[in-house]
Amino acid sequence: MRPLRATTRVRLKNRQDELATAATNRTLSDEETKEYEAARARLTAEFAEPPTPPSGFDKPFQLWGYVIGCGVIGFPYCAWLLIGAARKRWTLHEDGSLDTPEGSIAAERLADIDMDRWMSKSIAVVKDADGREYPLDDYKWKNTDKIVVELCRRFHPGQWTDEARPVDEGKDSDDSKGDDTEEAPTTEISR
């Protein structure tokens, strides 16, 4: 049914109801009687078809497809994804080794940290001796900046502050302490 026909039907039905209510309280004038009869005739002629009943497929599909499918199957799947994400952690140990979700990297196997996208995207890439890259994303993981600070102290001393920001050469920065420590505190991050 088009919206215009629907509004016409509603308007005619409302006017017919108004006239029917008025007829119970008083006698309708000839003009009102003609209007009532015209509205009733038009409603009967144009809008006589009953509304289509809902398909017999709708209710069973809603039950099985949405309630049982999404609820019974979807909930455990989402719970499994959340539990799996909670188990993935990045940990920088005091000896300098790094635990990643993909595995552990010994301190002597860590080669570099690429900070090209750190300031724009908060993504640092840790590289090992074999050339594998492990992206550290501050958006996905908590406390990533602490690991990045420690790795920057090791691989790029004096170039990054204690807040994982680049040191400006022209300014005297209060953030950079400039001390090169060999020990990195144990830092663990998770989703």
The Cα 81–Cα 62 span in angstroms is: 25
Closest CA to 43 of 18, 3, 19, 10: 10
- DSSP codes, 128-144: ETT--EEEEETTTSTTH
Give the pLDDT of the chain (191 residues) as one tens digit per residue.
445 566 777 888 888 888 888 888 888 888 888 888 888 888 777 777 766 777 777 778 878 888 787 888 888 898 998 898 888 888 899 998 998 888 889 999 999 999 999 999 999 999 999 999 999 988 888 888 899 999 999 998 888 888 888 887 555 445 445 555 555 556 666 66
Whether the full predicted model's pTM is greater than 0.85, yes or no, is: no
Cα end-to-end span (Å), the chain? 51
